[in-house]
Amino acid sequence: MALIEYRKLTKLYKNVPALNGIDLDIPAGRIVGLLGPNGSGKTTLIKLTVGLLTPTAGTVMIDGFAPGPQTKAITAYLPERSYMSEWMTVSAFVSYFADFYSDFDKNKAYEMLSRLGIDPKRTLKTLSKGTKEKVQLVLVMSRAAKVYFLDEPIAGVDPAARDYILNTIIRNYSENASVVISTHLISDIENVLDDAVFLRNGQVILADSADNIREKSGKSVDMLFREVFRC
């Protein structure tokens, strides 16, 4: 049984479809690349899954449930923007996550923060944009969630930071969990992907394992992506 099921999922923004009748299954224990150019519907799909948007039509089921408190308890979400209150300290955020998520590992979070040299006593407003992103990543990856949704986690960061982020993701998710990574920087993540989903104009145009894609097309996922989405 798929961990996440999308059936005829449609989302309209002022009658313009951002997603158009998506049917897709994401199995457990896989790293899935949600790939597509800007405006293809990647973020909308993730936001519908984590409950930040309401579908116009169709359904999303996570572990058998529609988005709600039960699914949010097993879903870790890293948005493409900072969602943390500027007045709170890093340690207050660690406590916040520990308060609400039973799968959150406080020690793991402090360990990761210490490895990054981030002082937990500092308030968010005193941190640089990059450091805030790292704190957010640490908080999300310190959970033992069933599914992680990472929206553009490596966009807008330098190559060294990209490596750190990807290594953090790979090292910290549990093997039974699924990781859905949305990005258009495919070459950076291709070697960690189990599956790839290509989105264009709110529709799935390809969903297969990375190995199958390479075998069938004779190209890397990155090369195929460049070919399919050539302007």
Residues that bind another protein (CB under 8 A): 47, 50-54, 68-70, 72-73, 75, 77, 79, 81-85, 87, 96, 99-101
Smallest distance, another protein to C-beta of residue 90, A: 14
Q: Which is nearer to another protein, 78 or 165 (CB)?
A: 78
CA pair distance 180, 202, nearest whole angstrom:
17
Q: Kindly report the CA angle at 64 between 28 and 84, in degrees rounded to 5? A: 75
Tokens of 173: 């998710």
Please say whether the beta carbons of 40 and 200 come within 8 A: yes
Smallest distance, another protein to C-beta of residue 81, A: 5
In degrees and rounded to multiples of 5, residue 221 shows phi and psi of -60, -40
Tokens of 119: 């002082």
Query: Which of 82, 98, 46 is CA-nearest to residue 67?
Result: 46
Q: Which is nearer to another protein, 104 or 198 (CB)?
A: 104
Q: Which is nearer to another protein, 41 or 195 (CB)?
A: 41
Smallest distance, another protein to C-beta of residue 172, A: 18
Q: Which is nearer to another protein, 129 or 219 (CB)?
A: 129
Residue 214 CA: distances (Å) to CA of 40, 43, 130, 145, 211: 22, 25, 34, 30, 5
Smallest distance, another protein to C-beta of residue 96, A: 7
Residue 145 CA: distances (Å) to CA of 53, 76, 165, 172: 21, 6, 17, 10
Q: At what angle do helices 159-172 and 106-116 cross, to 10 degrees?
A: 160
Smallest distance, another protein to C-beta of residue 181, A: 17
Q: Which is nearer to another protein, 138 or 224 (CB)?
A: 138
DSSP state of 113: H
Smallest distance, another protein to C-beta of residue 219, A: 36
Q: Which is nearer to another protein, 61 or 84 (CB)?
A: 84
Q: Which is nearer to another protein, 6 or 101 (CB)?
A: 101
Smallest distance, another protein to C-beta of residue 98, A: 11
Query: Which of 197, 201, 200, 227 is CA-nearest to residue 212?
Result: 197
